[in-house]
Amino acid sequence: MTAIIPSASMPGVQSPRLGSLPPLSLYIHIPWCMKKCPYCDFNSHEVRGGNVNMPEAEYVTALIRDLETALPQVWGRSVTSVFFGGGTPSLFSARSIDAILTAVRALLPLEHFAEVTLEANPGTFEVKKFADFRAAGINRLSIGIQSFNPRHLQSLGRIHDGSEAHRAIEIARENFDNVNLDLMYALPHQTMEEAQSDIETAAACGVTHISAYHLTLEPNTLFHRYPPPLPDNDLSAEMQIMIEQTLAQGGYLNYETSAFAQPGRESRHNMNYWLFGDYLGIGAGAHSKISFADRIVRQMRYKQPRDYLAKTSPDMTAFDSPIMEQHEVERNDRGFEFMMNALRLTGGFAPEMFMERTGLSIDSIQQQLDEAERRHLITRDYQRIAPTLTGRRFLNDLLQIFLPE
């Protein structure tokens, strides 16, 4: 059973109204991967014994049924971007990806030239397969490189080596003109020279986008249970500064905390997240944020693939649903949730967007804005509110100011 979402029309419930609905993205989660990495806290499940435990055709059918049942929540709204995440979505065949995208186009108005991203790992690259992904409608590829260093790849539990990483990038650039590379830094035993070699190698590949993430020890991961020796805070901070400087020299704009893009190549899908846009998430464990005129709702699908498949089977009763949890974003939480995302953007946001996306006046966080400005964590005028360099370096301290009491 899922929770009942209160409506603003119910007695005693006061909720700010939105003048218009934000852009809508579609997230599609494919939860299987070849091997679970020791740092990964995403909803992903190892494939064992070939494809025996990856019911690809059944899952594609489930995704389409999930999308069909979700339509009343987003009826008439166009989709600005699609993102296949995981897991490792590139484990699926191009035929399956094509079937999913065909259903998306049939059920939802997909904007012309919408950004359609597929996550892939170097160990799953095949020339013909990725050409077929492009033909199916994928126009942006995100490759999980993490490092080019064989020692670090081994410590991270990756299934590819440095040569496979370079080959994957070569295949990607032959088929796609919009390619992102995911890298990580502050890795076990990593030196500054090794971190610099990784980022310089990535920049030399000439891709349109690079994401550089600080390795963190997330709960429910092997690294959290058995922490490896990591660079200290000072060295990690020096690595971050080096990455920003190296990529700036390579013509990349640091438009978000961990994201760097050639001009005009920012991730439209992720920008929608950071600006508190809406997203419908389908697939095992997928999250959604959906706005209505009188409320904002967050949802999560069942995480275990077997549970998700059972809830989306053709025999599903009217009382079943793939949604495991859902709740309304309370008035006091809207401002914090907006700021938690928007203050990751180095360029910040226009003040009027705060009201458009939350239904609240910017005056509702005036005291917090004053405090953040007093501590030199933000800069603001009538056109823009943005984190300062200090605010970006101490983002958690900045966001703490906006936590609801």
Per-range mean pLDDT, top range of 126-135, 304-313, 352-361: 352-361
Domain assignment of residue 290, yes or no: no
The CA angle 275-221-326, to the nearest 5 degrees, is: 45
CB 20 within 8 A of CB 75: no
Boundary (domain end) residue, out of 240, 273, 306: 273
Boundary (domain end) residue, out of 243, 273, 303: 273
Domain assignment of residue 109, yes or no: yes
Which residues make Cβ contacts (< 8 Å) with residue 79, sequence separation at least 6?
A: 24, 25, 26, 104, 108, 109, 110, 111, 114
CB 260 within 8 A of CB 254: yes
> Are residues 87 and 222 located together in one domain of the fold?
yes
Which residues make Cβ contacts (< 8 Å) with residue 247, sequence separation at least 6?
A: 199, 203, 210, 212, 254, 260
Question: Tokens 């005056």 belong to which residue?
Answer: 363
> Are residues 72 and 212 located together in one domain of the fold?
yes
Structure tokens at 179: 């390619």
Which domain range does residue 381 map to?
331-405
What pLDDT does 395 receive?
Answer: 95
> Are residues 246 and 335 located together in one domain of the fold?
no
Whether pLDDT at 9 is above 80:
no
> Are residues 247 and 347 located together in one domain of the fold?
no
Domain assignment of residue 264, yes or no: yes
> Are residues 128 and 221 located together in one domain of the fold?
yes
State the Cα–Cα distance between residues 310 and 253, nearest whole angstrom: 44
Whether pLDDT at 231 is above 50:
yes
> Are residues 111 and 41 located together in one domain of the fold?
yes
State the Cα–Cα distance between residues 189 and 335, nearest whole angstrom: 39
What pLDDT does 1 receive?
Answer: 35
Q: 50-68 as b/e, with b when 16 or more CB fall inside 10 Å?
A: eeeebeeeebbbbbbbbbe
CB atoms closer than 10 angstroms to residue 26: 26
* Closest to 147 in 3D by CA, of 155, 135, 139: 155
For the segment 361-383, what is each residue's pLDDT rounded down to a tens digit?
999 999 999 999 999 999 999 89
Confidence grade of residue 48 (pLDDT, cut at 50, 70, 90):
low
> Are residues 360 and 244 located together in one domain of the fold?
no
Average pLDDT over residues 196-220: 94
What pLDDT does 317 receive?
Answer: 57
CATH number at residue 359: 1.10.10.920
> Are residues 174 and 251 located together in one domain of the fold?
yes
Domain assignment of residue 265, yes or no: yes
In this prediction the pTM is 0.92
> Are residues 244 and 378 located together in one domain of the fold?
no
- What secondary structure, in 3-state letters, does 329-355 show? CCHHHHHHHHHHHHCCECCCECHHHHH
State the Cα–Cα distance between residues 296 and 309, nearest whole angstrom: 27
Domain assignment of residue 95, yes or no: yes
CB 287 within 8 A of CB 33: no
CATH number at residue 28: 3.20.20.70
For the segment 283-323, what is each residue's pLDDT rounded down to a tens digit?
999 999 999 999 999 999 999 999 999 999 877 654 578 99
Domain assignment of residue 197, yes or no: yes
- Sign, CA dihedral 89-284-104-73, equals negative
Boundary (domain end) residue, out of 245, 273, 301: 273
Whether pLDDT at 68 is above 50:
yes
> Are residues 237 and 168 located together in one domain of the fold?
yes
Which residues make Cβ contacts (< 8 Å) with residue 362, sequence separation at least 6?
A: 351, 352, 354, 355, 369
> Are residues 68 and 216 located together in one domain of the fold?
yes
If one counts the domains in the chain, the total is 2
For the segment 23-35, what is each residue's pLDDT rounded down to a tens digit?
999 999 999 988 8
> Are residues 380 and 240 located together in one domain of the fold?
no
Question: Tokens 């030199």 belong to which residue?
Answer: 376
